[in-house]
Structure 1
Amino acid sequence: MIWRFLVYFSVGFISATIINFFITPRPIKNLNMVYTPFPILNGLEIILPKAKRWEDSPCIQFQNLAKTYDDVYQIKFGTKLIIVANSYESIKQLWCSKNIKANNSRPINYSFHKVLSKGIYTIGTTPIGETYRKSRKHISERVLSDKRNNDFNYVIMNNACDEMIDKIINQSIDNNNKNDIDIDIKPNLVSNDMVKEAQYFHLKVALWLTYGFEFNINDLIHQHLGDEIIDVENRITKVRSHVQNPQDYLPYILRLGFNLFSTKNYEFGELYNKRDRYLKMFYQYALNLYADINSGKMLHKLQSQNNSTNAINKIEDLKNTLMYNYFDDAKSKLAIGEITSECLTMVSAGLDNTPLNFKYGLHQMVNYHPEIWDKAFNDLIQYYKNDYQLAYKECSNEMKSEYVKAIVNETLRLFTVLPMSLPRESTAIIAYKDAIIPKGTTLFMNCWAANHDSKKFPDPMEFVPDRWLISIVDNDFTEKMVIDPTMKHFAFGIGCRKCLGNNFAFRELYILFSKMILRFKPTPVTERKYQTIPSDNSLKLNQYPESLAIEPEPFDLILERRSFDADIV
């Protein structure tokens, strides 16, 4: 029996090896190839079975392979050949420099592009082409430009942040009264996980700027709607992962077999329908709003609720929204699919990035580095006559604090919310050392490895905002610290497909951190009943090691409210 099994196995293995030779691309010369023992599956054992421990996260496995195969290597994933870059300098060379225009597209993946999205993608996941270029240009001009951030967007962010903080305080007061929190009962302490509140913050900002929809974070119906959007987009983030869907790399016949025993296609259909429903609902809302503004109905309604000046100002604000401008611009040649892509980008793109980075940055300062919190507080108030009430009101207007900017950069680097970033596809030949990478090749950026590359970032696992600062002498011969323009991280990607909302997200985080630092201070560990502090390693915190995004286990952060007559720290 054993010899018969060995014969069958040998014949099957040899047959699979022969088939594998014909259905997979030829290796690229002068680039190390990772040995994979299983033909047809090839390197998919990296993501099969899915990771359960943080040490098995795809970014760690790819990083470990670099110890044997060098910083850049090739590996077969099913029927595809993948180039993986695992160091800061190699990513700069492959994603920028002379290769920037060649490394500029996204691969079409079966699960996300053909089943789940059905042709409607975020701008960031859209392959290169006229649709991508038009949508990127339009949304950049209408919503995401620095001018818009400085002239208008910051006002919406400021108001949304104030509402978020007020809600956090009110919730904690209620919890104190119910004795539900894990701290000694003191009226000036707040306890909150922060992620859901920051997600509501982002939705409030994004829905207003996109549709003119006023998301009320205290309204139960709006909360239910927000929770559905958060849940759907979170699940889509998981299923769209290029390191979580082995069926995307299998031959067509094997993919059919995989789908027979998988519920993923049903889940994809469910998510598509839910997303389609709320996108259509917001589109119709914006269309009705446009009609009401132009007919004067909205002005009349607002005047009955506010004074005339406030009503007119509100109308002008609504005319700044993305969809109002789309409906109002007769010359706009954007197709409905293109504007839907822009709207989807605004709603979904920040739901993982901003809230999770915000939570992690607070966690570092509250639980590990309260001295950084205090330093940021003092740096902020110096720009506002050492008056932190004034600072709280005006810190959103301009990003004056270089130290808070450094905190944002260090949070983005150390947390690295998308450890494997998003994949690229080359549209022309790419040269790397002696290797020539052909057009149509998929490239993976190990963003985690690059952002924690000790050659670029000494003590890469430490939270050190000062690494982003350099000393300069100003025009009046005074020394000051500013952000080092040569320092870069890859949390937003890099090159021509870098996240187009990176300045928008940075501004959100700057406002969130600044206002939290000015309104609260870290709680001493002695104030806690249970003193177990979660890890400061974001991968160790991750609930889903196999997923595209790092999503930390839930835990509360405990802060103390500042009294408005408190002394400067």
Structure 2
Amino acid sequence: MFPLLQTYLLFLLSFIILTSFMISFKLISFRLKIKKNLPSPPKLPIIGNLHQLGSSPHRSLQALSQKHGPLMLMHFGSVPMLVASSAEAAKEIMKTHDLKFANRPKSRLTETLVYGSSDITFSPYGEYWRQVKSIAVVHLLNTARVQSFRQVREKEIGLMIDTIEKSHDSLIDLSDLIFWLVNNIVCKVSLGRSYQGLKFTNLLARFVNVLGTLCVGNYIPWLSWIDRLSGLEDKAGKVAKEFDEFLEVVVKEHLDKRRKRIDHSDKDDQDLVDILLDIQRDDAIGIALQRDTIKAIILDVFVAGTDTTYASLVWSISELIRHPKVMEKLQLEVTEVAQGRSMIYEIDLEKMEYLKAIVKETLRLYPPIPLLIPRESMEDVKVMGYDIPAGTQTIVNAWAVGRDPTLWEEPDEFKPERFLNNSIDYKGLHFELLPFGAGRRGCPGVQFAIVIYELALANVIYKFKISLPNGVKAKDLDMGETNSITLHKKSPLLVMATPRF
């Protein structure tokens, strides 16, 4: 028996050595294709630089860029990864060579979670992606459509204000209230009604958590068994199944409602599912819109719209608590604009320059997705003088760009005044501020998210004096981050809310 065991161990050792040699040879060959060697942190056999990501990859990659430069070639397992950490590098990738970097790399998790990556965010570049992107831009998230949901936003924000007022100066979990505010708005706009309960909250949290988990099989395919052993594949499968069952019920409810409705021309109360079903019925985009595509697009709007907007609102209010003079200045602005009315309305937002500066400053410090969704080069391309081969995955560290000391004075300080009389915006034209990406792969839902963000923030600050409980000092507020695809505040925001009037 022992000779057999020795033979097995010898075979295993030989296999590992041979595999390591093949991977090293592949990586060396890849580096030889780069005529001008890119700065590259030292890497280990097999895993490459994966060990250097740490618990906060955006922070770890920023630290590495400060040592090795704003454009680095790293290796996540056997996958070459170009990491951009400056506005100049981001501009070359997302503007100068936007088309060449317009592809998305294949991911085992998104294949499972998002209907074979058939949504807008993760689908590979090509005709199919162009068609689903046009659905969002032309039919779902255009200016007129976003404005048509004004009453939904104002009503839900009014209900949240009522809930806070009824707290009678008791401790409230503002993180939880903001989550349900954003969730209710997004649900009513996209699905036609709200969906509440712990089961629903847990499903969304699990989806985001799984999506942000490192999948070993993406980078070292022959070690994909680790994802099975860790339970990641099983978790992804269960979340995908539960979300599909939920979305299937939503689509069936809409189809049943349409069958019962006599007048099909009434579009006043349409939600996004209704619009997608109209496109499917009328064949309005020239391709057959499959059931799974409808569910994938709705999943995109629902998850991204809820998770990122909710996270940004919590960060804004947290920073205002920590900076009472900024809070006071914002309260003066919203009070002057409101002119004694019961709440701030959307028509008022354009008059609030300081509010908009606070939103920009929050997005600079806390971009919702700090490492923008990876891209992949579709052909050989030269970036900042370096020759990058086709098939190179690429990450833009929006968090590092937003804290670059060569771009921003006191980059780690919350100073909204820096955006007053400043043309820099977050819409993808200024590469110093990239919370929503830029170019072809920029987020199509910016306008949809920002109006919720601004309106909710303006009304909470207008109506209430927000303070920390039990004499906790503002400077001691926990600003720790979660380790996920979205940058969330780690601990809930527990506050006292006292009516101002």
In the TM superposition, what is the alpha-carbon distance from 1:142 to its structure 2 partner? 2.3
In the TM superposition, what is the alpha-carbon distance from 1:230 to its structure 2 partner? 3.1
Q: Distance in 2 between matches of 1:493 and 1:465?
A: 21
1:556 aligned partner, one-letter code:
L
- The runs of 4+ residues in structure 1 deviating greater than 6 Å are 7-13, 481-485
% identity of equivalent residues: 21
- The secondary structure found in structure 1 opposite 2:92 is helix
Given the alignment, which residue of 141, 144, 152 partners 1:144?
A: 141
In the TM superposition, what is the alpha-carbon distance from 1:535 to its structure 2 partner? 5.6
Alignment of 1:290-301 (within 5 A): 290-294=258-262
Partner of 1:289: 257
Instruction: Give the gaps of 5 or more residues in structure 2.
Output: 1-5
Q: What is the CA deviation profile of residues 159-180 of structure 1, one whole-angstrom value per residue up to 9, with x for unaligned ones?
A: 111112222333x23xxxxxxx
Alignment of 1:262-273 (within 5 A): 262-273=230-241
Alignment of 1:173-212 (within 5 A): 173=168, 189=169, 191-211=171-191
Q: Residues 371 and 396 of structure 2 are in contact (CA less than 8 Å); yes or no, is this contact kept in structure 1?
A: yes
- The secondary structure found in structure 1 opposite 2:394 is strand
Q: What is the CA deviation profile of residues 499-540 of structure 1, one whole-angstrom value per residue up to 9, with x for unaligned ones?
A: 1111111111110111111111233x6xx42415476785xx
Q: What is the CA deviation profile of residues 12-35 of structure 1, one whole-angstrom value per residue up to 9, with x for unaligned ones?
A: 875344221345461233242534
Partner of 1:304: none
When normalised by structure 2's length, the TM-score is 0.87
Alignment of 1:395-434 (within 5 A): 395=346, 398-434=349-385
Q: Residues 232 and 275 of structure 1 are in contact (CA less than 8 Å); yes or no, is this contact kept in structure 2?
A: yes
Q: Distance in 1 between matches of 2:360 and 2:105?
A: 29
In the TM superposition, what is the alpha-carbon distance from 1:240 to its structure 2 partner? 2.0
- The secondary structure found in structure 1 opposite 2:74 is strand
1:160 aligned partner, one-letter code:
E
Q: Distance in 2 between matches of 1:535 and 1:501?
A: 34
Alignment of 1:9-28 (within 5 A): 15-24=18-27, 26-27=30-31, 28=34
Q: What is the CA deviation profile of residues 92-124 of structure 1, one whole-angstrom value per residue up to 9, with x for unaligned ones?
A: 22222x2122121211112332x3334155421
1:90 and 2:89 are equivalent in the alignment: yes
Given the alignment, which residue of 188, 196, 201 partners 1:223?
A: 196
When normalised by structure 1's length, the TM-score is 0.78
Q: What is the CA deviation profile of residues 103-159 of structure 1, one whole-angstrom value per residue up to 9, with x for unaligned ones?
A: 21211112332x333415542122212222112211222231223233x12222111
Q: Distance in 2 between matches of 1:9 and 1:457?
A: 53
Q: Residues 374 and 394 of structure 2 are in contact (CA less than 8 Å); yes or no, is this contact kept in structure 1?
A: yes
Instruction: Figure out how many residues of one structure are paired with residues of the other and give that number.
Output: 484
Identify if the C-alpha distance between structure 1 residues 486 and 99 changes in structure 2 by more than 3 Å, giving closer, same or farther: closer
Q: Distance in 1 between matches of 2:475 and 2:426?
A: 30
1:356 and 2:294 are equivalent in the alignment: no
Q: Distance in 1 between matches of 2:67 and 2:258?
A: 60
Q: Residues 237 and 549 of structure 1 are in contact (CA less than 8 Å); yes or no, is this contact kept in structure 2?
A: no
Identify if the C-alpha distance between structure 1 residues 95 and 31 changes in structure 2 by more than 3 Å, giving closer, same or farther: farther
- The secondary structure found in structure 1 opposite 2:171 is strand
Q: Residues 350 and 505 of structure 1 are in contact (CA less than 8 Å); yes or no, is this contact kept in structure 2?
A: yes
In the TM superposition, what is the alpha-carbon distance from 1:236 to its structure 2 partner? 2.2
Alignment of 1:523-538 (within 5 A): 523=467, 528-533=469-474, 538=479
In the TM superposition, what is the alpha-carbon distance from 1:37 to its structure 2 partner? 4.5
Q: What is the CA deviation profile of residues 435-488 of structure 1, one whole-angstrom value per residue up to 9, with x for unaligned ones?
A: 12122210011121111111112111111111112189xxxxxxxx99998685
Identify if the C-alpha distance between structure 1 residues 316 and 279 changes in structure 2 by more than 3 Å, giving closer, same or farther: same
- The secondary structure found in structure 2 opposite 1:399 is helix
Partner of 2:124: 127
Q: Which has the larger radius of gyration?
A: 1
- The secondary structure found in structure 2 opposite 1:123 is coil
1:374 and 2:328 are equivalent in the alignment: yes
1:531 aligned partner, one-letter code:
V
Identify if the C-alpha distance between structure 1 residues 75 and 431 changes in structure 2 by more than 3 Å, giving closer, same or farther: same
Identify if the C-alpha distance between structure 1 residues 337 and 124 changes in structure 2 by more than 3 Å, giving closer, same or farther: same
- The secondary structure found in structure 2 opposite 1:349 is helix
Q: Distance in 2 between matches of 1:529 and 1:61?
A: 35
Q: What is the CA deviation profile of residues 205-226 of structure 1, one whole-angstrom value per residue up to 9, with x for unaligned ones?
A: 2222223x222xxxxxx422xx
Q: Residues 171 and 496 of structure 2 are in contact (CA less than 8 Å); yes or no, is this contact kept in structure 1?
A: yes
Partner of 2:98: 100
1:26 aligned partner, one-letter code:
F
Q: Residues 39 and 69 of structure 2 are in contact (CA less than 8 Å); yes or no, is this contact kept in structure 1?
A: no
